[in-house]
Structures are given as structure tokens and as C-alpha cells.
Structure 1
Amino acid sequence: MSFKPTSVPDLYGDQNNTNGTECPEDNWEWLHTSQPVYTLLISVLGIVFNVFVLMVFCLHKKACTVAEIYLSNLAAADLVLVSCLPFWAVNVSNGFNWTFGLFMCKVVNLGIKMNVYCSIYFLVLISIDRYVALVHTMSHGRMRRPKYAKLGCLLMWGFGLLMSIPTLVFREEEYFPDFGVNACFLKYPNQTVALLCDGMLIVFGFIIPILIISFCTVKIIQALKIQAVERFSAEKTEQKATTLMMVVLLAFLICWVPFHIVTILDVLLRADVLRGCHLTNVLEICNQIFSYLGFFNSVLNPILYVIVGKNFRKKVWELFKQWSIKRTTASESTRSHLSSTLKTVL
């Protein structure tokens, strides 16, 4: 036997798995070789891209709109995730031998779990914002204010932290002498607590936000159709923001829905509603593939901002011009100062 906790960080499931079940052991050697490389690649690209997005939103001379406040917080949540993944890449490459201590064991996985909750709820806020802007156009001026958007984001960060408390409580570092590894894993006290925590993830991290997003999306599409029939054109800024929101939302669903489906099936399997070694092995493999597909979303979002977001590209161009003017002004000031200094000396 080999120590085989799931190589995916704290997303779901009891990772205290030493393969003590009746199912035959699969070969997981491919995880130790290919997965760390993929994880580090996601981390590097994600850090560079999301830092770039945050710089554009934060350093631009114009204040962020409500939609941009939500997108910047989404980029911050993605940055938290990709900053934590290198620790797990090292852990997998070491054969799940955790070398960073108990504190980092809890904090790294806390950051990853917070992204799962915060990212989808920032999309909920974006969906509600588009819904108010296009469906309730008469009242959106009062409701869509930057201070309310910032307060909403702060509440979502707090909610993500609250829902991630089980990670702080149940994440443990323990040495397994039979396998020679010091593992960082989820150690639930019993199966009931494990199923409860997984159920919270399914309900609050998937079902509820997806229902809200779906309602807003349907209403937005209906409003756009009515505007097209009546030949009424909304503000171009609102249309561009809505297009970007739809694309970002679609990318999120493509990347994360498979993971949540596997989560539901895994809970049913551990609750003995579903059974079978073949299903167990399939879900473990799908767990790896779909979890890292979800992590790729943190790299994809900044790319979508550039490709689809016309206003974002405009901000980038204006920011580059702003920096160029500052450099030119600073250079001219330096030359003028040197010239006056030389005249004084001579």
C-alpha cells in the first residue's frame, strides 16, 4: 500500500485515506510527476495575470465602477488561490510529505477553500448588478453605488471565511510511520461531520448561488430581448459590462460545475446511497481532473477581461499612456535640473 490522500487541496472529502477500504488500489504515480508541473504553471500565470488586473483597476486615475469593483475582488480571490497552490505542488512532488508546518497547513487550505466560496458569490453580486442595471433601470442609480458594492464584497469575504472555518478546525498535520510521510489532511471526527461539511459546500457553495445567478441571467436575457424588439438601446457601457459578465459566468460554469457534480456523487457514495469500487475509482480520478479544471478558471478570467472587456482594454491603454506621460515628465524634469546645475557650476 501507498499513502494516497487525494492530491487535491481542501475542497471536499475526508482526506484521511490510507486505502484501508476493500477496493483495490490504483496507480497514482502519474500525480507525483505531471500534477506539480501543471499546478506551478497555473500559479505563475495566475499570479502574473491577476496582479496585472488589480494594477489596472487600482492605479487607473478614474474610480472603479460597481462592476469593476466586483471584478477586482474576483481577481483578488483568484490571486489568493494561485498564491496557495505552489505549496500543494511541492507537497505532491514530495509524495504528500508536508514540510511547511501545521500553521501553513491550515492557512494554505483556508485560502483555497475561501476562493471556492468567494469567487462564486462575487459572480452572484455581478449577476445581481447586471439584473438591476438592465431590468430595474429606473432605480439602479440609487441601488448601484460604489459604497454598497464595497460593502457587499466585504460581506462576501467574511462569508467565505465563515464557511471555511471547518478547514481551520479539522486540518491536521500527522506523521504516518507505515508510509513514512508527514501528511496535511482533513481529519473529521466522524463520517457525519464529513458529510455535513460536504453538504454545506454543495448547498451554499453551489446550489444557492447557481439558483440566484440563473434567475438573474434569465431576467437579463428577457430584458435584452425586449429592448431589441422595441429598438431600445441601453447605454453602451451597460451592454459591454453585461457581455463581459456573461462570458465570465459561462467560463466559471464550464470550469466548476463538473467539480460540484463529482462532489455530489462523492457525498452520495460515502452516504452509501451509491456503491461500487469502479465508481469510487472513477470519482477519485474525476476529482483530480475537475478540481484542477476549476483552478484553471483563476487564470482564464484575466484573459477574458482582455479579450472581451472593451472597457478593460481601454483602461489598460489609458494607464500605459498615464505612465508614459509621467516618465516623460520625470525625464524632462531631470534633464532640466541637470542643465541648470551645469550652468550654475560653469
Structure 2
Amino acid sequence: MNNSSDFESCRPRPLSMSIPVLMCLVCFIGFLLNVFSLWVFCCRLPSWSAGTVLQFNLALSDTLATPVTPLMAVYVAMGNDWSFGKLLCTAKIAFVSAQFYGSSIFLSLISFHRYKAVVHFNKSSRMKDKSFIKKLCAGVWLLLLAFTLLFAFVVPSTKIGKITQCFRFSEASLKNSFFIVSCVLVSVTFLIPLSVSATCYICVKNALARLNNITPKSLKAKLKSRRMIRMCLIIFVICFLPMNVIRTTAGVVMMFYPGQCQLIDPLQTAYYASWVVAGLNCCLDPLLYFFGSQTFRDAVPSFRLKSAEPQPSDTEMTPNNM
């Protein structure tokens, strides 16, 4: 089947209105939670550790899709017809990419940081150096910018008849580009970060099982590190697994069966639905700060814990004051 017939047979189909409604709802709740988290980081914490720098950058990446979410919702509601121009199409890709892929990378870095704090707590490490962590975060943002440019130039906005598409994979002319992009993204922004987090969790769990002669205070802090890594893994599986599986499957289908609309159309619908699920990470990440960081909880006035016995803070986890 040639490209023209592919274009005719796989025209965009309208999606359920529940998708844009849920998209806006999830984004709005996540925006409020992350703005509050950023306020706590910037205005309530007198000093930052290396772990705080990572958490701040995670919260920042979670807020970036907010400006373009209404445009995405209108786009879906109007039958996948993008009427906001190529510049805003590129901006949409940039902000959504920064949120999804930035979150997965920063979650893996938080897991690795906690692993170093527990398994190598008596050794010096660059992961405990705040200046190094800042440079590392800057490198992540440069990587996200590269992904944005890759999307913008490799998968541009296109027209199918009178309908303008902004990053829709069901186009035969883009099947090679989309397949390559899908393979790169699933490797760099999902499989590698997920493997890092899973490995860190296993290593921390094994290290805690071997610990002897440890004070209750230190043990409690290390158990909190294991809990934070576990929360990172849960967020990975719940939020990012569906989107990556669907996008990779769509890339394979488009590459080898470009004219099979009975396969492509359900995948396109499932892909947009997976955006809603992936967007849940911006609602779950603030729970990571609150339940995984005593310092963050103590910085929230309404939830300051007042117990007779002092709680171990994040800065007490290592002698090097991460």
C-alpha cells in the first residue's frame, strides 16, 4: 500500500472527550501540588542538600507541561486538528517531553543518590557534592533540550487533507522517524532509568539486611531511603510503563504494517490515554518529597511534626551531609 492510500485510510479519528477532561484535571492538580512544593523548596528550606537539589529539579520538570496542556486538550477535543501554528506545536512537544522524560531521569537520579547514602554511607561520593549535583542537573536539562529538537525536526507537524497534525504517529511518511525516536526514547528515558532504580532498590534492600550494630536513628533514616526508592519504582511502573509500551508497539506497527488502521487507530487512542496516566506522576512526585523527606515535612508549617523524640532528617543520613 502506498503512502497516499495510507493517508486516506488512516485519517485522524475523534477521541472520547473524557481524555482532554482528565488531561486538564490531572494537570491542574499536579500544578497546584508542584507549585506548593517549589514554594517549600525555595522559601521554607534554609539550606539545600544534594538530594534537595534533585527533588527541586524533579518538581520543576513536573510543572513544565502546564502551559500547553489546555492546547493539547483543545487539540484532542477538536478531532486532533492543530490550529495553533508550528511554533506552538514545537513548544507543546518541548514542554511535554521535559515533563515526562525529565521526571523519569530525575527519579532515577534520586534513587541512585539514596543508594549511595545507604550502601556507601561511610565513603566520599560525588553524589553527595551539591555543586556536582547542580552540574549533573544542568546536563539533564541539556539532554531534554536535545530530545525536544529531535522531536521538532524529526517528527514535525503535518497536514492530512485539511487537518493539521501535531505529533501523530499514524502517518506513513513519518514511520521511519517515529520508529527511531521510539527506540531511542524507550532506551534512554525508560529502560535505563528503570534499571537504575530497580538495581538501587535491590542493593539497598540487601545492604539493610546485612547491617549490624546500627543505631535505631540511623536505621530509620536508611529505611526511609529504601521507601523513597520503592516509591520511585512505583511511579515508574504506574505512570511511564503504559506510555512507553504503547509508543514502542505503535512504532513497530507503523514500521511494518503502516496501512493497518484497525491496529493503528486503537493504538493512537491508547497513546493519548497513556498521556493522562503518565501525567499522574506530577501528582505523585510531591508525595515522594513529603513522605520520603523529614526535612521537607518539617518545612511545611501545618504538618510540622512535634514529637518528644527528634526525627532523623535527610542531612543526618551521612557524615558528609548530603
TM-score range, shorter chain: 0.7 to 0.9
Q: What is aligned with 1:161? A: 145
Percent identity between matched residues is: 24
1:241 deviates by 4.0
1:174 deviates by 4.9
1:29 deviates by 4.5
1:282 deviates by 4.1
Q: What is aligned with 1:232? A: 214
- The farther-off stretch of 80-89 and 45-54 is 80-89
Pairing of 1:1-346 with structure 2 (within 5 A): 20=7, 28-30=14-16, 33-140=17-124, 143-170=127-154, 172-174=156-158, 176=160, 178-179=161-162, 181-185=163-167, 190-227=174-211, 230-233=212-215, 234=218, 236-272=220-256, 279-307=263-291, 309-317=293-301
1:57 deviates by 0.8
AA at the equivalent of 1:295: G
1:184 deviates by 2.8
- The farther-off stretch of 100-109 and 300-309 is 300-309
Per the alignment, do residues 106 and 163 of structure 1 end up closer, same or farther by CA in structure 2, a change over 3 Å counting? same
DSSP 3-state at the match of 1:271: helix
Q: What is aligned with 2:320? A: none
Per the alignment, do residues 245 and 214 of structure 1 end up closer, same or farther by CA in structure 2, a change over 3 Å counting? closer
1:171 deviates by 5.1
Cα RMSD (Å) of the superposition?
A: 3.2
1:219 deviates by 0.7
Q: What is aligned with 2:310? A: none
1:276 deviates by 6.3
Query: Is there any run of 5+ residues in structure 1 with no aligned partner, and where?
Result: 1-15, 321-346
Output the CA distance in 2 between the equivalents of 1:218 and 1:202: 22
Output the CA distance in 2 between the equivalents of 1:294 and 1:155: 23
Task: Please say if residues 118 and 225 of structure 2, whose CA atoms lie closer than 8 Å, have aligned partners that are also in contact.
Answer: no
Task: Please say if residues 12 and 80 of structure 2, whose CA atoms lie closer than 8 Å, have aligned partners that are also in contact.
Answer: no
- The farther-off stretch of 110-119 and 91-100 is 91-100
Q: Deviations over 1:298-323 (max 9, x none)?
A: 12222443355443221112899xxx
Output the CA distance in 2 between the equivalents of 1:202 and 1:37: 27
Task: Please say if residues 105 and 173 of structure 1, whose CA atoms lie closer than 8 Å, have aligned partners that are also in contact.
Answer: yes
Output the CA distance in 2 between the equivalents of 1:214 and 1:190: 34
Per the alignment, do residues 206 and 147 of structure 1 end up closer, same or farther by CA in structure 2, a change over 3 Å counting? same
1:51 deviates by 0.6
Task: Please say if residues 132 and 140 of structure 1, whose CA atoms lie closer than 8 Å, have aligned partners that are also in contact.
Answer: no
Per the alignment, do residues 117 and 54 of structure 1 end up closer, same or farther by CA in structure 2, a change over 3 Å counting? same
Per the alignment, do residues 203 and 252 of structure 1 end up closer, same or farther by CA in structure 2, a change over 3 Å counting? closer
**Comparing both chains, which one has the higher relative contact order based on Cα–Cα distances under 8 Å and sequence gaps of 6 or more?**
2
AA at the equivalent of 1:43: C
TM-score by length of 1: 0.75
Task: Please say if residues 53 and 302 of structure 1, whose CA atoms lie closer than 8 Å, have aligned partners that are also in contact.
Answer: yes
Per the alignment, do residues 98 and 266 of structure 1 end up closer, same or farther by CA in structure 2, a change over 3 Å counting? closer
1:69 deviates by 1.3
- The farther-off stretch of 195-204 and 88-97 is 88-97
Q: Deviations over 1:13-51 (max 9, x none)?
A: xxx99974767x896342xx2222212212221211111
Q: Deviations over 1:119-156 (max 9, x none)?
A: 11111211211111111122146641211111111111
1:80 deviates by 0.5
Query: Is there any run of 5+ residues in structure 2 with no aligned partner, and where?
Result: 305-322
Larger radius of gyration: 1
TM-score by length of 2: 0.80
